[in-house]
Structure 1
């Protein structure tokens, strides 16, 4: 019999999460025991998960990539590798889509209770211990995500990121970076740096056909300059999964890298859609630290 800890946002306005959590608890009785952990903030969740994770066979998250990031960050800080069950409840659910997980709650619950555990890669920042479940962005894409409203995400889904992202990218502002990857140092100006751990970005699961969630690699895209004339070609390559082939895009595969800001203004990162630390940063990959329940 397994022990499950169900983690969800218990703040006001998240009644659906609570209903799903209790539904999972009832469904799990034939397979084991399930305890519920409703948290009001990221900090509260981090502390509670670090303290309790070692006592359970599987941690079940209800939410999107941000909820997953909080859970994985807590596991890294506690150095507790374990199995995760995912009930997608976010707007984009990028990581769940990359793994081919069901997005509907009942099917997701069935996958957690009867599916197969598969090891997945987990990016992280060694200096802070923060996890990178799906992506880290710097520059224009980070600014774009900050300006996307929750109502727009609900109405348009991942397409809103694509639309607003390209709208931002045709502006002239760029930044100067020093990127050290695969024992080589690159100093250049760029509008965007994007680091991914899977084949999916913003819910587009064919974004990078060379990547997978268990290839032990970070995938880094450096976008130097976008122009309106190139916009249609970039959009076509983005959707076709060949964005790395676009003119003006540098692509690297590595197990770690460092990024330094050589511009005059401070630059912050966004990790899995939420604001994070400012540059400089070191990024690394941790393989086989966690497993995720996937369909048989």
Structure 2
């Protein structure tokens, strides 16, 4: 009996390469005896609505798009009583979530992973009443992903984020925040906060720390203090790139639950999309929340 596969596609993701690979991918799924239903997303959150309404009827739900589209699909699947397997064919600009899962950049190879990969139990983050797959962040540069025009992302790729971020250097502001985790309280001014479950953020590998495990029930947390001059800014960048936190400029730790309080609303980013303005935030790790297919061996 053929297994049922729901294929959710964002045709606008990245450079729209899925349009050139679609027939080959559908042919592969059919050869492996999958009964395929295709849904092409029409607008933001359409992937969520589709997964929420239809996912329970399928053995596997496959997403082709960027990390934002995959995040939508995960949210929808998380609301189902019966969660199917998940597959991901990355087609976005940076594909941080896919990179952290060691998925192939080549779409045909990622499609092959859907039919012969191994299940992997992956943690998911709860952000107040919302969900994120790999990053919740606030502060400097965190709005770059959703304020950079899609055309620039498609044309320039990763460089588009760097160029957009460079425009903000003279407008860096800080927030006075009370942070609580594991019985410890931090009260300080911060220009950036990142709560991550990923080895790649914004296309930069390793800035969330060393030995990242996406199934250990823990987040990597990076909080950066105000940087008073270009030398401190460069030192902070170097610390992130070298994966060696500088305690004079930042806090870095792992936790399964963390809360933030601020008197003024802070704009948050969830998986590269606007996550709303909040004065109080509780973030908690839900260990092994989804099952996603990965290659048998890492690249």
TM-score band w.r.t. shorter chain: 0.7 to 0.9
In 1, the alpha carbon distance for the partners of 2:117 and 2:282 equals: 35
The Cα offsets for residues 225-277 of structure 1, whole Å up to 9 and x where unpaired, read as 123012333333322223x33531111311111112223xx222111111112
In 2, the alpha carbon distance for the partners of 1:241 and 1:248 equals: 14
1:138-287 equivalence runs, <5 A? 138-162=138-162, 164-165=164-165, 168=168, 171=171, 173-207=173-207, 208-226=209-227, 227-242=229-244, 244-245=245-246, 247-263=248-264, 266-279=265-278, 280-287=280-287
Q: What TM-score comes out, normalization by structure 2 length?
A: 0.87
Aligned residues: 291
More displaced, 246-255 or 7-16?
A: 7-16
The Cα offsets for residues 29-70 of structure 1, whole Å up to 9 and x where unpaired, read as 132221111221234332221121112121110111101110
Change (3 A) 1:11 1:105: closer
Q: What TM-score comes out, normalization by structure 1 length?
A: 0.88
Please name the residue that 2:85 is paired with.
83
More helix by share: 1
The Cα offsets for residues 132-183 of structure 1, whole Å up to 9 and x where unpaired, read as 1121111213244444333443344335445654664565521111212112
Is the 1:8–1:18 Cα contact (8 Å) retained in structure 2? no
More displaced, 51-60 or 159-168?
A: 159-168
Structure 1 gaps, min length 5: none
Please name the residue that 1:123 is paired with.
125
Q: Residue 267 of structure 1: SS of its match in structure 2?
A: strand
In 1, the alpha carbon distance for the partners of 2:246 and 2:274 equals: 29
Is the 1:166–1:231 Cα contact (8 Å) retained in structure 2? no
In 1, the alpha carbon distance for the partners of 2:12 and 2:90 equals: 17
Change (3 A) 1:21 1:282: farther
Q: CA RMSD in A?
A: 2.5
Matched, 1:67 2:69: yes
Q: Residue 34 of structure 1: SS of its match in structure 2?
A: strand
In 1, the alpha carbon distance for the partners of 2:158 and 2:122 equals: 23
In 2, the alpha carbon distance for the partners of 1:30 and 1:188 equals: 57
